Amino acid sequence: MGTMITDNFKSEELVVITPLKGAFIFCSDLIRCIDLPMRIDFIEVSSYGDRTESSGEIKLIKDLTHDITGKHVLLVEDILDSGLTISYAGDLLSKKKPASISVASLLNKNKTDIKLDYCGFDIEDLFVVGYGMDYRGYFRNLDHIAVLDEMSKRELDRNIEENKS
């Protein structure tokens, strides 16, 4: 994917933007494979909270720190699921008048007609964790991607509630 991005932007400066927190590990691996001058910035948006399905409501927690006017932007996501987060981020970034916005995602669940410019893998509609992706803040540190089944979610939920006491 990094080679394709390098070839497509042909020595143009790139601003790589990734939503925190899920995509930070993928983004760090990806940018090391892109041979272009670049700046990195982060936004933080949320539509999941502690749930496994999007709430449908997007909340901006952290905005960009750098001006992207006239810049080529690569929005790097961990997973395209409902499309709400990418749509929200794309709209937010478009208002800042970049020269272009491209979207790269490690995983795609195909629940939307949003076009990805770069996609790592298409996956089934399963809840995945690891490699930066989480459930209630846990599992980001896994060095692989795993499916979190319902029994494991219930057990983790029970342990979290017990430890609050």
- Looking at the annotation, which residues are catalytic? 81
Enter the DSSP assignment of 135: B
> Does the bond joining 109 to the residue before it have cis omega, within 30 degrees of 0?
no
